[in-house]
Chains A and B, each alone.
Chain A
Amino acid sequence: MNSFRIIGNKKAQFNIDANMFSKSVIMKVLYWLNNDFVVQTTSHESQLLVELESNNDTDWNIMKKTISTMLNDFQMREVIEKETHDIRNILYVKAFSNIDNFTEYDTEE
């Protein structure tokens, strides 16, 4: 996240480099912001311009830190999910398979 600009009490803009954060990570962060803010995004090449507007007064310095933490956290969650996606599926398949009920078919016939 860079170029964080505060516009009055109720509006702020910042850029996110789409080369650094995946679309999924960015969308998850914006998802959690859209209860408190009207969120608008504009894309310029690899930069995503995000504009947040609130009806309430906002401490934008705290917000800036929060958004930065959320971006890093969701990026880490994405790494964990990608690396563990297959093993998680295996674990759930094993957990819910009814081994006793399986019918063994003779595939030689």
Chain B
Amino acid sequence: MIQRNNSYRLLPFKFTHIGNKELIVNEVGDYLFMPNGTVQRVISGSVNRNTEEYRDLLSKFIICDSYNDILQDVIATRIRTKKSFLDGFTSLHIFVLTLRCNQKCVYCQATSQNKDCVNKDMKIEDLNKAISLMLKSPNPHITMEFQGGESSLVPSLVEHAILETERQNKSVGKEIKYVICTNIIHFSEELLNLCEKYNVFVSTSLDGPESIHDSNRGVSGSYKHFVDSLLRIRERLGQDRISPLMTTSVLSLNYPIEIVDSYRQLSFHYIFLRPLNPYGRAKENEDWNLYFDKFLEFYKKSLDYILLLNKRGEFFVEGFTAMVMKKILTPFPIGFVDLQSPAGIINSVVVYNYDGYVYCSDESRMMAESGDFTFRLGKVSDKYEDIFYGKKAQALSRVWATEYIAGCSDCAFQQYCGADPVRNYSTQGDWYGHRPSSLFCKFHKAVFEYLFELIDRRGNEVLPIIRRWIYD
């Protein structure tokens, strides 16, 4: 240990260089921008007491006067708060009720099948067993999400799933939130009644203006059906009971402003700029390096435009930025499974597939459709403990935290990022992954650097806007 004249001690922290400054981040994600050379001076004991620099470093838990119990308890509580998403264990339970779909999306990650295909719906007995497994989760707050394929093609299964869950939950007493993921192309009255009765939230997809939306869906007329259903759903369920996600196809990359405006035109105040993921049909994308470079530019242009709208007085949120900024600016975790450590798989999300098997994430079951069952945890008839705490879950736990995997353990962005063994396996062939060649790493580092540059250069202008996104 270095003996320092002024006897302060180091607390665990990471650092990197952004522009001509050093970004220093402590163990719970508090950050400081300091002049280059600060870290060298901190560790060599050259920071003088009674300076603003000393007080900054002290208040951000980069250094301390002593490792006393009170300090330890404060930081330990902060760590526990940051990791509180682990408290209840799996909260998001995805039910793939069918693989059949009525659209032909160019980027389909689920390898959906034709709507008339047979043997691609979940069997009732498997659905009942999956519901029993879900209700064994220790989490008192459960989100039950119906996915596909296109879940609106099987309204009777959706209805059965909700009624059976309500029945089984009478003796369990969990708080259940229902979400139906649907393209709402043909959203029947029967489904609307069900959504109204059981407060089902509708999660849908909108990729931009009519030309982009229809092109991405691979079916003409999709946008018109979408708008018709949107109006019906809003009228019956309320404005805030339906929310869309946007997926950025290669075509979409050229239209950042138009896509944001298409959301505004339909009276949405929120967009989530989501890149393609390398699964299913999307995996056929030729050059992922080029795609992510272009997506980053798309993201920056869109965000810049959205910030401008907010400056002009319009409340409009970019969801991905809001989530990352919540990690940076607040002591709290976020519910975004892609950026969690330990990883979102199993800890936060699990998938019951139409074929009666349980997978550790949505992406895992998408890989299964390509014949790769690596992340299959078991069958719905298996014991809960064997699925959620079994050998595969244990093996995954050895590679699912940024705190201890190579390339992440030293990274300044560790507290904001996440580990993703499924993505590692899909793109690099092994669970552990290789950070220097990882596009997940490259992309997220670039986003974090960009957001910290924004904070540093335009903090006075953008932070009040982003704080409204986080806290409102």
Q: Are B27 and A91 in contact (CB under 8 A)?
A: yes
Please, which residue of chain B has its CB at the minimum distance from the CB of A86?
B67
Residue of A35, A74, A84, A96 touching B410 (CB-CB under 8 A): A74
Q: For A83, what are the chain B residues with a Cβ–Cβ distance below 8 Å?
A: 1-2, 9-10, 43
B393 lies within 8 A of chain A by Cβ = no
A92 lies within 8 A of chain B by Cβ = yes
Q: Are B40 and A76 in contact (CB under 8 A)?
A: yes
A88 lies within 8 A of chain B by Cβ = yes
Expressed in whole angstroms, the Cα–Cα distance for A81 and B410 within the complex equals 9
Expressed in whole angstroms, the Cα–Cα distance for A91 and B39 within the complex equals 22
- 10 A-B pairs whose Cβ atoms sit less than 8 Å apart in the complex: A32-B407, A35-B434, A69-B17, A76-B40, A79-B2, A84-B13, A87-B12, A94-B76, A95-B76, A96-B80
Q: For B437, what are the chain A residues with a Cβ–Cβ distance below 8 Å?
A: 35
Residue of B43, B76, B79 touching A80 (CB-CB under 8 A): B43
Q: Are B72 and A84 in contact (CB under 8 A)?
A: no
A28 lies within 8 A of chain B by Cβ = yes
Q: For B176, what are the chain A residues with a Cβ–Cβ distance below 8 Å?
A: none
Q: For B407, what are the chain A residues with a Cβ–Cβ distance below 8 Å?
A: 31-32
A34 lies within 8 A of chain B by Cβ = yes
- If A80-B10, A87-B67 touch, whether A34 touches B436 (CB-CB below 8 Å) is yes
A62 lies within 8 A of chain B by Cβ = no
Please report A residues at the B interface, Cβ cutoff 8 Å.
28, 31-36, 69, 72-74, 76-77, 79-84, 87-88, 90-92, 94-96
Expressed in whole angstroms, the Cα–Cα distance for A80 and B76 within the complex equals 19
Closest 8 A/B residue pairs (Cβ) = A94-B76, A35-B436, A95-B79, A84-B12, A95-B76, A35-B437, A88-B12, A95-B80
Residue of B14, B17, B72, B435 touching A94 (CB-CB under 8 A): B72
Q: For A31, what are the chain B residues with a Cβ–Cβ distance below 8 Å?
A: 406-407, 436
Q: Are A91 and B72 in contact (CB under 8 A)?
A: yes
B side interface size, CB within 8 A: 30
Expressed in whole angstroms, the Cα–Cα distance for A36 and B77 within the complex equals 41
Q: Are B43 and A79 in contact (CB under 8 A)?
A: yes
Q: For B1, what are the chain A residues with a Cβ–Cβ distance below 8 Å?
A: 82-83
Q: Smallest Cβ distance from A100 to chain B, in angstroms? A: 13
Expressed in whole angstroms, the Cα–Cα distance for A92 and B82 within the complex equals 12
Expressed in whole angstroms, the Cα–Cα distance for A91 and B80 within the complex equals 10
Q: Are B39 and A76 in contact (CB under 8 A)?
A: yes
- If A34-B436, A79-B2, A91-B27 touch, whether A84 touches B11 (CB-CB below 8 Å) is yes
Expressed in whole angstroms, the Cα–Cα distance for A8 and B17 within the complex equals 30
Q: Are A32 and B436 in contact (CB under 8 A)?
A: yes
B83 lies within 8 A of chain A by Cβ = yes
B75 lies within 8 A of chain A by Cβ = yes
Q: Are B73 and A94 in contact (CB under 8 A)?
A: yes
Q: For A77, what are the chain B residues with a Cβ–Cβ distance below 8 Å?
A: 14-15, 410
Residue of A72, A82, A87, A91 touching B79 (CB-CB under 8 A): A91
Question: Could you mark each residue 431-448 of chain B with 1 if its beta carbon is under 8 Å from any beta carbon of chain A, else 0?
Answer: 000111100000000000
Q: For B17, what are the chain A residues with a Cβ–Cβ distance below 8 Å?
A: 69, 73
Q: Smallest Cβ distance from B9 to chain A, in angstroms? A: 8
What 16 new A-B contacts, CB under 8 Å, besides A77-B14, A80-B10?
A28-B410, A35-B437, A80-B12, A80-B43, A81-B12, A82-B1, A83-B1, A83-B2, A83-B9, A83-B43, A84-B10, A87-B12, A87-B67, A90-B67, A94-B72, A95-B80
Expressed in whole angstroms, the Cα–Cα distance for A43 and B1 within the complex equals 29
Q: Smallest Cβ distance from A97 to chain B, in angstroms? A: 8
Residue of A32, A73, A74, A91 touching B76 (CB-CB under 8 A): A91
Q: For A73, what are the chain B residues with a Cβ–Cβ distance below 8 Å?
A: 15, 17
Q: Smallest Cβ distance from B166 to chain A, in angstroms? A: 32
Expressed in whole angstroms, the Cα–Cα distance for A81 and B77 within the complex equals 21
Complex interface residues of chain B between 306 and 349 (CB less than 8 A to chain A): none
Q: Smallest Cβ distance from A74 to chain B, in angstroms? A: 7
Q: For B39, what are the chain A residues with a Cβ–Cβ distance below 8 Å?
A: 76
Expressed in whole angstroms, the Cα–Cα distance for A76 and B79 within the complex equals 24
Q: Are A90 and B72 in contact (CB under 8 A)?
A: yes
Q: For B77, what are the chain A residues with a Cβ–Cβ distance below 8 Å?
A: 95
Expressed in whole angstroms, the Cα–Cα distance for A66 and B436 within the complex equals 15
Question: Could you mark each residue 1-41 of chain B with 1 if its beta carbon is under 8 Å from any beta carbon of chain A, else 0?
Answer: 11000000111111101000000000100000000000110
Q: Smallest Cβ distance from A56 to chain B, in angstroms? A: 13
Expressed in whole angstroms, the Cα–Cα distance for A70 and B76 within the complex equals 31
Please, which residue of chain B has its CB at the minimum distance from the CB of A97?
B76
